């Protein structure tokens, strides 16, 4: 019986000792209250308090995220809008957070909800959509000022969603579409203007270049025509001079024979009319004199007239022809290495040999 009582006493003592053991986590802060009186904090780690008469309250010192419920707010321009937010808080004074307010989390959420409604109600819808950062900063300052007496620090406030009602959203969609169409029209007009300017500039430059090319081509064509006329006139002049010198040595008989040959050529055709450029009777008289030998040429007419050989040009000798043939053969071999052999080279060689 004594042993049983002893064991029972030991168990009661161990139970009472265990009830007094307190383990405080590193991110927590514990408040010790004994018989209704605050006696101090308990630091993280192992601690023992008098059980039954001592109450230990643990508070989380980490940053906590509070969700502000979704609510409908009327903006300054009378646009109904659904708004919700997130509030990041952290307990910095455990005594105030426990003794100054019954539930600091619920109080913070309610205060954020009312502050959000008041802030959104003082702004227009466009300003709310474009200035979320300004709204976040303003709400954080307002909430932090009010929750400072509760020992709670407002670290950040974020507007999570701004959702206008159906009619307002449709009007905003139409406004956005109209604004995009306006910008597209401006960009399209600017592109067409630039394209027209570039097209006109290119047309101008092409006309200038075309006029310059036409001018140069006309100058070159005129220069070529001038040179060809000069060379043609020189050739005709030399031919007339050679013909005149060669005809001076002919007598009247030779001229009569040539005239009869010319008459034969003119009559040998399909034409029904023949026009003679000289008197026919004179030609017949000259032919009769030639056939009858009744008229002799005077001594003055028979005098041989010397011909200036320089006008006829020097005839090439055999050496010059051989050199010309070798030159043509070398040029033909050179051309054959670059492209297809010229078919006219053998004919030219045969012509030179003849």
Q: Is 96 exposed, middle or buried (0-12, 13-18, 19+ CB in 10 A)?
A: middle
Checking if the pLDDT of 342 tops 60, the result is no
pLDDT of residue 310: 54
Checking if the pLDDT of 304 tops 50, the result is no
User: CATH 3.30.479.30 in the chain, residues?
Assistant: 64-164
pTM over 0.85: no
In CATH terms, the fold of domain 64-164 is Tetrahydropterin Synthase; Chain A (3.30.479)
Compute the distance between CA of residue 254 and CA of residue 260 in angstroms, rounded to an integer: 10
Checking if the pLDDT of 256 tops 80, the result is no
pLDDT of residue 53: 86
Calculate mean pLDDT across residues 286-301: 53
Checking if the pLDDT of 187 tops 70, the result is yes
Q: Which of 152-161, 212-221, 275-284 has the highest mean pLDDT?
A: 152-161
Question: Among 222, 203, 97, which Cα is nearest to 151's?
Answer: 97
CB atoms within 10 A of CB 119: 20
Q: How confident is the model at residue 339 (pLDDT cuts 50, 70, 90)?
A: very low
Question: Among 161, 162, 158, which Cα is nearest to 134's?
Answer: 158
- For the chain, the average pLDDT equals 78
Q: What are phi and psi of 93, to 5 degrees?
A: -135, 95
Checking if the pLDDT of 329 tops 70, the result is no
Stretch among 207-221, 285-299, 328-342 having the lowest mean pLDDT: 285-299
Per the listing, tokens 């049983």 go with 4
Calculate mean pLDDT across residues 292-316: 49
| Count, residues in the chain | 354
pLDDT of residue 91: 93
Q: What are phi and psi of 295, to 5 degrees?
A: -130, 130
Checking if the pLDDT of 42 tops 80, the result is yes
Higher pLDDT residue, 31 or 297?
31
Checking if the pLDDT of 62 tops 60, the result is yes
* Three-class secondary structure of residue 317 per DSSP: coil
pLDDT of residue 193: 92
């Amino acid at each position: 019986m004594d042993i049983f009582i002893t064991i029972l006493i030991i168990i009661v003592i161990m139970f009472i000792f265990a009830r007094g053991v307190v383990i405080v986590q590193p991110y927590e802060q514990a408040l010790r209250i004994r018989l209704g009186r605050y006696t101090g904090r308990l630091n993280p780690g192992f601690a023992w308090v008098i059980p039954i008469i001592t109450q230990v309250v643990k508070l989380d010192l980490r940053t906590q995220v509070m969700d502000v419920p979704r609510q409908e707010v009327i903006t300054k321009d009378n646009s109904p809008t659904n708004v919700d937010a997130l509030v990041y808080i952290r307990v910095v004074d455990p005594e105030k957070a426990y003794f100054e307010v019954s539930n600091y989390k619920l109080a913070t959420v309610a205060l954020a909800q009312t502050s959000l409604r008041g802030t959104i109600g003082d702004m227009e819808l466009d300003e709310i959509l474009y200035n979320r950062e300004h709204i976040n900063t303003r709400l954080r300052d307002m909430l932090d000022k009010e929750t400072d007496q509760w020992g709670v620090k407002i670290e950040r406030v974020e507007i999570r969603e701004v959702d206008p009602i159906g009619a307002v959203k449709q009007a905003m969609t139409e406004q956005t579409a109209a604004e995009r169409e306006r910008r597209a029209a401006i960009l399209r007009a600017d592109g067409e203007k630039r394209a027209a300017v570039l097209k006109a500039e290119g047309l101008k430059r092409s006309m200038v270049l075309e006029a310059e090319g036409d001018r140069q081509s006309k100058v070159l064509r005129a220069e070529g025509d001038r040179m060809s006329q000069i060379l043609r006139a020189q050739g005709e002049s030399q031919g007339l001079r050679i013909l005149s010198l060669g005809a001076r040595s002919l007598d009247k008989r030779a001229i009569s024979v040539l005239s009869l040959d010319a008459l034969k050529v003119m009559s040998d055709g399909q034409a029904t009319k023949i026009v003679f450029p000289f008197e026919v009777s004179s030609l017949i008289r000259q032919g009769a004199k030639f056939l009858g030998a009744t008229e002799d040429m005077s001594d003055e007419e028979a005098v041989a007239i010397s011909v200036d050989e320089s006008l006829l040009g020097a005839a090439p000798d055999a050496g010059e022809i051989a050199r010309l043939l070798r030159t043509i053969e070398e040029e033909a071999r050179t051309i054959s290495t670059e492209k297809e052999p010229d078919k006219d080279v053998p004919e030219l060689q045969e012509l030179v040999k003849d």
